[in-house]
Structure 1
Amino acid sequence: MSTVVRTAHEVTASALGWLHAHRELGAFEDDATADLGDNDSVYKPLCELALASSLVLREGVAGSAELRAARELLEFSWRQLRAGDLLYERQLRHGLVTDPLETYVHHARGGLRHEALEQLFEQTSAADSITEVLPNRRLAVANAHRVAGLRRDDDFQGMLRQTWLGRTPQPWALDWYTAYYMTHAVFHVTDWGAMPGELPPDVVGYLENWLPAWFEVWAEAGQWDLVGELLIVGACLPEPWCEPARWELFAGVQHGDGLVPRDAEPVDDDPWRRYHDHQHTTVVATIAGTLTTSRLLGGGT
C-alpha cells in the first residue's frame, strides 16, 4: 500500500495548495448578514474549506507546509464568519436551521470556539428544536453535536437504519443523488473515518461488495466529485478500501496546479469560475487523500 500512500499524499498536498492559493476567491464580497441570501455562493464553500482543513489538522499526516496551509485556511474561514459571530446571529435569528452548528463544528474541531454560540446550541439541542430533515441529514446534525461536545443521547445506529444505506437495498437502485446520501451517511456515522467501528458488520460487508462496482460506474461517467466521495467511504471502512489502480485513476484527473475537476466537462479558464466550479471536488480530494493516508498509516483504528 506504499504506492497508495504516496499517491494519496501527493493528491492532498496539491489540492490543498490550490485551495490555499485561491482562498480569497471564496471570500464574502461585502458585509454578509445572518440571512445569507444565497447559502451556496460563499457560506457553504467556506464550511467545506473548514471541514477539509480541520481533518488535515486532526489526522496530522501531512507535511509541515500542508499543515500550515490547513491552519491558515481554517483561520481564513473563521475570519470570514466574524470569529463565529455571524453563526451566532444566524442561529439566533433562524432557530430551526442546522447549518450554523454544522459549520461551527469544523472550526471547533480545530480549536476555534465561541462560548455564546455553544450556549445557544445547548438550548436548542435540549429542546430538540431542529427542523425536519432527511435521515442522512439527521446523522450530520448528530455528529456535529458529538464532535462539538454538546450533550445529546443520539441513537446513531437507529438513525443509520433509517437511511438508504442502512437498509442495504439492491445495489443497482442507486442514482446520483442517493449515492451522495449514501456517502454522507458513512461520513457522519464514522465522523469522517475517526470511528470506522461504528459501521455495523452487514453495512461494512455491503460496502465492501459494491464500492468497486459503484466506483467503476461513476468513473466511466466522469463524475469525479462522486468518485472522490466513494474513495472517502473506502477510507472510512474498518479495513480501508484503497486500491492502487483506483487511486491512480483519480490522481490522473487532477490538474497540474492541484485543481480536481468535478466532471468530464472542459474546465473554464477564468480563475473565479474555475474556483467556484471545482472548489468542492478539490476539497473532496483533500479529504480523500488525507483519510486514506492516515488510515493506511494506522489512524482511525
Structure 2
Amino acid sequence: MTDAATDTELLATAQRWSSRALHWLHTRYRTGQGDLPPDATVDFADPDSAYKPLGEAALAASLVLRDGVAGARDLEAARDLMDLCWRQLHGGDLLYERQLRHMLLTDPVETYAHFARVGYRHQPLEDLLDSFTRLRAPNAVELLPNRRLAVANARRVIGLGDRPDWTSLSAATWLGALPEPWAVDWSTGYSITHTVFHLTDWGARPEGLPAAVRDYLRDWLPVWVDIWLEVGQWDLVGELLIVDACVGAPVCDSATWDRLAAVQHPDGLTPRDTDPVEDDPAEAFRDHEHTAVVAVIAGTATLSRVLDASSATR
C-alpha cells in the first residue's frame, strides 16, 4: 500500500467482505445449522466433523471482539455467535469432560482458547490443563511443528504458566527453515499460514515472528497470492491475507481483496474454490463455512493492523 487512497479502498473492501461473511455465519448458527450432531459425546472420534467447525466460528467471533474494529452491528453478531457456540459446548463442560477422559488430545485446549480470549472461562478445565504442565505425557504428544505451535499459543491465550521455547518451535516448522519459495504446495501453504497465526496470536503479536521469517514473507506473499488467485483457491488466498496482516503493514494490494469480494455471494457465502456451490443449503454451509471464518479473520486483522499503523504515525 502506497497512499491513503489505496488504504481507504482496501479497508472498505476488507470490511465489507468480512462483515457479510460474519453475518452469513451468524445467521446459519442462529438457525441451528452449526449445532453439534445430536449424538455427539466427549468420545467422538472425528473432531473435524463434530466440533472443529464450531470452534473455528468461535475463533472468528473472538477476534472480532478482541480487536474491536468492527461496527456495533458486527460486534453484536460476534458476541451472539460466541454465546451460541459456548452453549453448544455446555458452557465448557463438554471440553472439560473430553480433556479429562482423553488427556493426550489437544483439541479441547485449542477450542477453549477461543472462548477464554474474550472472557468465557471454565475453572475446572483450566485447573486440569494447568496440572498437565507437571506431567510428561501431554507434552510428549507427537504433533506436526505448526500443530505444536497451536497448542503453545492456546495455552498462552488461556494464561497457563508454562513457557515454551518459541524460537525452537518456530525453527522446527517448514517456514522456519526459509525454504525455496517455489517449493510451496497447497498443503504446505496452509502449514505456513498456521505457523504465522500461532506465533503472532492471529496478528496481535507481530513481534513473535523472527525478523528473517518476516522479511521472507514480505518478499514472497504477493507471489504466492498471485499463484493461488490464478487457480481460484479462494480459501487459501484468504488465509494468506491474514498472514499479510500478521507481519505488519500489509504488502498485498487492493486488487486481491477485490477478487475475493467479487466471488462472494449476495448472502455472504464466499466459495472455497472455483467448484460449483451446492444448491442444498446444509451442504453449502458444510463446504464453505471455513472460508467464511477466513474472511472474517482476514478483514478483522487487516483493519486492525492498518488502523494501528495509522495511529502510530500520527
Bucket of the pairwise TM-score, normalised by the shorter protein: over 0.9
- Unaligned ranges ≥5, structure 2: 1-6
Equivalent of residue 284 in structure 2, options 274, 282, 285: 274
Equivalent of residue 188 in structure 1, options 193, 198, 217: 198
| 1:46 partner amino acid | L
Q: Deviations over 1:119-161 (max 9, x none)?
A: 0000113325322101111110110011100001111121101
2:249/2:306 contact within 8 Å kept? no
**Are residue 254 (structure 1) and residue 254 (structure 2) matched?**
no
1:197/1:238 contact within 8 Å kept? no
| Secondary structure of the structure 2 residue equivalent to 1:29 | coil
Equivalent of residue 4 in structure 1, options 10, 13, 36: 10
Q: How many residues align?
A: 301
**Are residue 134 (structure 1) and residue 144 (structure 2) matched?**
yes
Residue 197 of structure 1 and its aligned partner are, at CA, apart by 1.4
1:57/1:71 contact within 8 Å kept? yes
Residue 32 of structure 1 and its aligned partner are, at CA, apart by 2.2
Alignment of 1:148-167 (within 5 A): 148-167=158-177
CA–CA separation in structure 2 for the residues paired with 1:153 and 1:40: 29
Alignment of 1:106-145 (within 5 A): 106-130=114-138, 131-145=141-155
Alignment of 1:13-28 (within 5 A): 13-23=19-29, 24-28=32-36
CA–CA separation in structure 1 for the residues paired with 2:137 and 2:233: 36
2:241/2:298 contact within 8 Å kept? yes
| 2:143 partner amino acid | V
| 1:18 partner amino acid | W
Higher mean displacement: 123-132 or 103-112: 123-132
**Are residue 75 (structure 1) and residue 116 (structure 2) matched?**
no
Higher mean displacement: 113-122 or 129-138: 129-138
Alignment of 1:71-110 (within 5 A): 71-110=79-118
CA–CA separation in structure 1 for the residues paired with 2:196 and 2:113: 18
| 2:188 partner amino acid | T
Residue 44 of structure 1 and its aligned partner are, at CA, apart by 0.4
2:104/2:137 contact within 8 Å kept? yes
CA–CA separation in structure 2 for the residues paired with 1:89 and 1:29: 17
Residue 242 of structure 1 and its aligned partner are, at CA, apart by 4.1
| 1:165 partner amino acid | L
2:222/2:252 contact within 8 Å kept? no
CA–CA separation in structure 2 for the residues paired with 1:297 and 1:155: 31
1:26/1:42 contact within 8 Å kept? no
Equivalent of residue 213 in structure 2, options 203, 209, 212: 203
CA–CA separation in structure 2 for the residues paired with 1:40 and 1:71: 24
2:40/2:50 contact within 8 Å kept? no
CA–CA separation in structure 2 for the residues paired with 1:126 and 1:292: 38
| 1:121 partner amino acid | L
| Secondary structure of the structure 2 residue equivalent to 1:86 | helix
Could you tell me the TM-score, scaled by structure 2's length?
0.93
CA–CA separation in structure 1 for the residues paired with 2:239 and 2:120: 26
Residue 31 of structure 1 and its aligned partner are, at CA, apart by 4.5
Alignment of 1:44-83 (within 5 A): 44-83=52-91
Q: Deviations over 1:79-125 (max 9, x none)?
A: 00110000011001101011000000000111100000000000113
Structure-2 residue corresponding to 1:41: 49
| Secondary structure of the structure 1 residue equivalent to 2:60 | helix
CA–CA separation in structure 2 for the residues paired with 1:126 and 1:257: 49
Q: What percent identity do the matched residue pairs reach?
A: 55
Residue 38 of structure 1 and its aligned partner are, at CA, apart by 2.8
Residue 36 of structure 1 and its aligned partner are, at CA, apart by 1.5
Q: Which runs of 4+ in 1 moved over 4 A?
A: none
**Are residue 283 (structure 1) and residue 293 (structure 2) matched?**
yes
Residue 26 of structure 1 and its aligned partner are, at CA, apart by 1.2
CA–CA separation in structure 1 for the residues paired with 2:16 and 2:128: 41
2:221/2:252 contact within 8 Å kept? no
| 1:187 partner amino acid | F
Could you tell me the TM-score, scaled by structure 1's length?
0.97
CA–CA separation in structure 1 for the residues paired with 2:112 and 2:51: 12
